[in-house]
Structure 1
Amino acid sequence: MASQGIKGPPCKFIHGCTKEISKLKKDVMMKMNEPMTNVSHEILPIVEPHIHKWNKLYGDIKKILGDGLVATEGKKWARQRRLAHLAFHGESLKGMIPAMVDSVHALLDRWQKLEAKEVELFEEFAMITSDVISRTAFGSSYIEGREIFQMLSELTIVVSINLFKLRLPRIRKIWKTSDDIKSERLEKAICDALLGIIEKREKKVNVGEMDDYGNDYLGSLLKAYHDPDKSKRITIDDLMDECRTFHLSGQETTTSILTWTIFLLAIHKDWQEEARKEVTDVFGNEDPNHEGIMKLKTVGMIINESLRLYPPVVNTIRKVVRQVTLGDLVLPQGIALQIPILTIHHSPRIWGDDVHLFKPERFREGVAGAVSNDAAAAFLPFGLGPRNCVGSNFTTTEVKIILAMILRHYSFTVSPDYVHLPSQILTIRPQHGLKVILHPL
C-alpha cells in the first residue's frame, strides 16, 4: 500500500500505534471536564483524536489499519444471518411493538413519580432498552435474560477500556490483571446463566409443558441448536455469540441513538416542536402502532441527522477476500480495511461546509437526496451491503416509539451542569451522562 501512496503513522515494535492512541484519548479526557457553554457537534477530534490527527498528517480518509477481523463467514454466517433476520423483521418486528410500548409506559410512570424533574437519560435509556431487548429475545424468561444483558454491558465496558492496552498472550496465562479476572468471571456467569435458561426450556419441552422451544429469539436459536440436520446445527458458542450480537444491535446501539437524539432536540427546541406536532397529528392520544410509525417523516429526518452527527459505531472493519481495484488503488487479498464511519459522516467534502450543524432538512428527500450521487454510500450508521446491521429496523422502530411517547408527555432542556464529552465505549456515549430537565405537558 505504501508503494501506492498510502501513508500512515509509524508502527512501533510490539505495541504498534496503541500507545499514541491511548495518550491522545487521555489528553482529550483531561481537557473536557467543564459544564456546557457552547456545544459543538464536531466530535471527531474528541472521540477519535488519533484519526483526526492522522488525517491531517497523512491525507484524507483513506486508511488501512489493523491486521484482520475474527468473524463468521460462508455458510455459517448465512445461517446465523437468517436466524437474526427472522427475529428483527416483518411480522416478528410488528409483534414486538406492544412490548416496546409497555416498557415506555413503565418509564413514564416512574418519571411521573419523581419529585425532581432532572433525570440522567443515558442510564434511563439503558434500562428501558435492556427491558425491551430482554422481553423480545427471551420472552417468558426475560428476567433472567435482562440479567444476562446487564452482565454483557459490564463486559463491554471492561473490554472497551482495555482496547488499546497491549499485552503478550502468554503473559496473561501467568499474570492476570483485575480486568482480566473480572472479564473471565463475567463470561463464565453469562454462560452459566444462559445454560440455565436453555435447560429450563428444554425441560419444559421434554415434560410436555411446552410444544416447542418458543417463538422468541431464544426459541429460534434453540431450534437451530437441536436441528436434526447436523450440518445446520449451531453450537453453544454460536448461541452465545448471537446473544452478544442481539445485545449490541438491540440495546447498545438503541441507547446511543436515543441519547443523542434527545440531546439534539433539547438544544434545538424548534425541531422538538416540529417532531411533537407530527407525533400528535399521527397518533393523537393513542399509543404508537406500526402503521403510524411508518408515517413519521419529520421524526425520521431527525433520527437520520442524529445518526450522521453521532453514529453509534464510529468505525467498522472489512477484510479483503480477493484482490480488488478501488479507484486508483489495488487492494491485495487478506488486508483489513477500516471504514471510518464518523470521519465520513463529518467530511465537509461530502456534506458541505455546514457539516457540523444539526440540519435534519438534509434528509427531507430521504438518504438518497442528502448527498450527491457520487457519495451515495456516505451515510452508513448501520453499515452497508450484506453485512449491514441486521437489527437496524428493530432499532429505528424502538427509537421512534420511545421518542413519540416522550414528546407527547414532556418537553425537555439540557441541564446547565451537562458536560459535552462524547466517548467511545463500544458505541458513542456521553462520558458524564446526559442530564436533562423534564417539563410535563
Structure 2
Amino acid sequence: MGIGAVLQPWSLLCSAGALVALWWAWRVLESTWIVPRRLGRALQSQGLPGTAYHFPFGDLKEFARLAAAARAKPMPLSHDITPRVHRLYYNIIREHGKISVTWLGPTPRVIVDDPKLVREILANKFGHFRKRKHNGLVKRLANGLVSHDGDKWAAHRKIINPAFHMEKLKKMLPAFAACANELVTRWEGYVESDGSKEIDVWPEFQNLTGDVISRSAFGSSFSEGRRIFQLQSEQAQNLVKMMNTLYLPGFRFLPTQLNRRIKANAREVQELLRGIVGKRERAMKKGHANNDDLLGVLMESNIAETKQAGNSKPIMTMDDIIGELKLFYFAGMDTTAVLLTWTMVALSIHPEWQDRAREEVLRVFGKNQPDLDGINQLKTVTMILYEVLRLYPPVVQLDRQTYKEMELGGVTYPPGVILSLPIVFIHHDKDVWGEDADEFRPERFADGISRASRDSPAFFPFGWGPRICVGQSFALVEAKMALSSILQHFYFGLSPSYTHAPFPVSTLQPDHGAQIMIKRL
C-alpha cells in the first residue's frame, strides 16, 4: 500500500474537520456580529433609544456587574424593589424611556414598559409574537405548555384546561387542606405554648407547595416526590446561569461541568416522571386508577380529545405528558411558595392588614377547616394576595420574540427581536398606579382588578390574553387555604434576623430567606 493511500483518509478527515470549523466560525460571526449589526441599524433608523451593541457581550457584563452589586448588600425594608430586582433595566428606563433597547448578548431586547402595548403583545391575536427561543435550555426544565406555540400549544391547552376547572379543584381541596394542616401542626410543635419561635418560612412554603402539587397532581406524598423537587429547583438555578451568559452556537453541547449537570438532572427527572406515568397507565388499563388528580384528568382528557379528533395515535405523547408534568412540578411549587412567602413578609410589616385578614378568616371559618365556599367569600384576603402579587410578582418579566416583521406602537420590528415585558416595573409604575405605587395598599383592589389601576388593567402576575396561566385558580385557592390556616392559629412578625433581599432566580425569591417570628393565638 502506497503512502498516498494511507494519507488519503487522514486528508479527508482533516478537510471535514476544517469545514466544520469554518461552519462553526461562520455561525459565530453571523450570530454575534452580522445579525446584531443589521438588527441594531433597523431599530436605530426608527429613532428607538437605548444602548448600542458592543461585540460580543452587549450589556451582559454591565448586567452582571449591577446584579452582583445589588445582591452584595440588603435593601431597606421597603416595597420599592425594582432597583434591586433589575438594576440594568431600571437604569435604562430612567435614561432612555419606557420603550428602549438593551443588549444582553448579541440579541436586541426592547424593553416594553407600557401596559397598553404589553396587552397587545400578550393578546397575540394573529400569532405575531412567540415565546422566546432558548436554544433548548428551557425545555430541560419544563418542556410544557409555556414552551409551545401554534397548533401544538392550542392542542395542549385544550387537553390541560379541564384539569384546572373549579369542579376539579374542589376535588383536590382535601389535599390542599391536609398539607396546610400538616404545616400548622409542624409549626405548633416548634412553638411553646407561651413563647414564640423564629421560622424561615421560604423553605417551609416550598415543602408545603411541593406536597400540594404531589398529592393533587399525582396522588403521592412529598417524600416520594422530594427528589424531583430538588432536581427541578437546581435545574432552574443552573439554567438561569446559562441564560445569563453569552450564547454561542453549539455551546450547550460542550462538556462543561454546568452542561453535564444540567443534562444529568434532566435525564433523572425524565426517568422518575416516566415511571409515574407508566404506573398510572397500567392502573388505568386495569381499571384501578383514581383519576381525580391532575395527572389522571390530563390523561383522560388526552384520550377523549384523541378519539374526538379521530387520531390513531395520542395527541399528547409520553414525552409531551412528561413535559407537562415537569411544568406542574416547577410552576405548581415555586410560584405559590414565593407568593405565600412575600405575603407573610408584607403582613409582618403591616400588622393592621394581618389583623383585618385574621378577623375575616375567623368570621368566615371560625376554627373550622377552610372550605371552597368560604374561600370564595374572602374579600380582604384576596385583596392582600393581589397586592402582594402586584408588588412582588413571582415572574418579574415575560419575553416574546418576533418571527416576522411586526408593527407595534409605531415601530416596525424585524424578525429576531426580543420584546421584554418588565411586569415588575409596570406593577410599580406611578403613572399607572399613582404616587403610592410602591406602598402596600390592598384596598386599591377593593373593586376588583379592572379598577385598581389608572390604566385598566395593568396587572399581569399570571400573564394576559390566551396564554394567561392555566393554573392561576389552583395557585390562588392553594394560597388562600394555607394563609387562612396560618391566620387561624398564629400571630407573626418579622424576626430581627430578617434581611430584605428580593431577587429573581427562576422566580422572585428572598435572597437570604424569610425569617418570621410566630406565636400561637
Q: Same fold (TM over 0.5)?
A: yes
Gaps of 5+ in 2: 1-42, 102-107, 111-129, 134-146
In structure 2, relative to structure 1, the CA distance for the partners of 1:171 and 1:381 (3 Å cut) is closer
| Equivalent-residue separation in structure 1 for 2:158 and 2:435 (angstroms) | 41
Q: Displacement, 1:143? A: 4.9
Q: Does 1:196 pair with 2:275?
A: yes
Which of 453, 464, 468 is the equivalent residue of 1:384? 464
SS at match of 2:250: helix
**Residue number in structure 2 paired with 1:217:** 294
Q: Displacement, 1:438? A: 0.3
In structure 2, relative to structure 1, the CA distance for the partners of 1:104 and 1:61 (3 Å cut) is farther
In structure 2, relative to structure 1, the CA distance for the partners of 1:174 and 1:195 (3 Å cut) is same
C-alpha contact 1:129 1:255 (8 A) present in aligned 2: yes
Which of 48, 51, 61 is the equivalent residue of 1:9? 51
Q: Deviations over 1:51-100 (max 9, x none)?
A: 00111221125556179613312221112112332222221111111110
- Which stretch of structure 1 is more off in the superposition, 105-114 or 146-155? 146-155
Alpha-carbon RMSD? 2.3
Q: Displacement, 1:243? A: 1.6
Q: Does 1:112 pair with 2:188?
A: yes
Q: Deviations over 1:381-405 (max 9, x none)?
A: 1111001111111111111111111
SS at match of 1:117: strand
SS at match of 1:278: helix
- Which stretch of structure 1 is more off in the superposition, 403-412 or 241-250? 241-250
C-alpha contact 2:490 2:519 (8 A) present in aligned 1: yes
Q: Displacement, 1:214? A: 2.9
Q: Displacement, 1:4? A: 2.6
Q: Deviations over 1:148-186 (max 9, x none)?
A: 233212211222233312253435544412x22222111
Which of 438, 443, 458 is the equivalent residue of 1:356? 438
Q: Deviations over 1:197-220 (max 9, x none)?
A: 2222233345x262x683422224
Which of 440, 444, 452 is the equivalent residue of 1:370? 452
**Residue number in structure 1 paired with 2:322:** 240
Q: Does 1:311 pair with 2:393?
A: yes
| Equivalent-residue separation in structure 1 for 2:480 and 2:200 (angstroms) | 20
**Residue number in structure 2 paired with 1:46:** 84
SS at match of 2:240: helix
AA in 2 matched with 1:335: V
Q: Displacement, 1:320? A: 4.0
Which of 394, 397, 406 is the equivalent residue of 2:486? 406
| Equivalent-residue separation in structure 2 for 1:230 and 1:335 (angstroms) | 39
C-alpha contact 2:160 2:301 (8 A) present in aligned 1: no
Spell out the pairing of 1:259-274 with structure 2 (5 A cutoff).
Answer: 259-274=341-356
TM-score (norm 1): 0.91
AA in 1 matched with 2:92: W
| Equivalent-residue separation in structure 1 for 2:413 and 2:251 (angstroms) | 35
Which of 330, 344, 358 is the equivalent residue of 1:276? 358
- Which stretch of structure 1 is more off in the superposition, 110-119 or 130-139? 110-119
| Equivalent-residue separation in structure 2 for 1:386 and 1:231 (angstroms) | 27
- Which stretch of structure 1 is more off in the superposition, 76-85 or 309-318? 76-85
Q: Does 1:101 pair with 2:177?
A: yes
Gaps of 5+ in 1: none
SS at match of 1:413: strand
Q: Does 1:73 pair with 2:155?
A: no
C-alpha contact 2:179 2:208 (8 A) present in aligned 1: yes
Q: Deviations over 1:113-159 (max 9, x none)?
A: 11561100000000000000111111147654443233212211222
Which of 67, 82, 86 is the equivalent residue of 2:162? 86
C-alpha contact 1:134 1:149 (8 A) present in aligned 2: no
Which of 254, 266, 271 is the equivalent residue of 1:187? 266
C-alpha contact 1:276 1:404 (8 A) present in aligned 2: yes
C-alpha contact 1:99 1:136 (8 A) present in aligned 2: yes
| Equivalent-residue separation in structure 2 for 1:343 and 1:223 (angstroms) | 41
AA in 1 matched with 2:183: L
Residue identity (%): 38
Q: Displacement, 1:358? A: 0.7
AA in 2 matched with 1:54: I
C-alpha contact 2:92 2:100 (8 A) present in aligned 1: no
Q: Displacement, 1:102? A: 0.7
**Residue number in structure 2 paired with 1:139:** 219
**Residue number in structure 1 paired with 2:97:** 59
| Equivalent-residue separation in structure 2 for 1:213 and 1:76 (angstroms) | 28
Which of 355, 363, 374 is the equivalent residue of 1:292? 374
| Equivalent-residue separation in structure 1 for 2:519 and 2:220 (angstroms) | 36
Q: Deviations over 1:336-372 (max 9, x none)?
A: 3111101101111111111111111111111112112
In structure 2, relative to structure 1, the CA distance for the partners of 1:415 and 1:141 (3 Å cut) is closer
**Residue number in structure 1 paired with 2:68:** 26
AA in 2 matched with 1:52: Y
- Which stretch of structure 1 is more off in the superposition, 235-244 or 298-307? 235-244
C-alpha contact 1:126 1:252 (8 A) present in aligned 2: yes
AA in 2 matched with 1:214: N
AA in 1 matched with 2:457: A
In structure 2, relative to structure 1, the CA distance for the partners of 1:377 and 1:285 (3 Å cut) is same
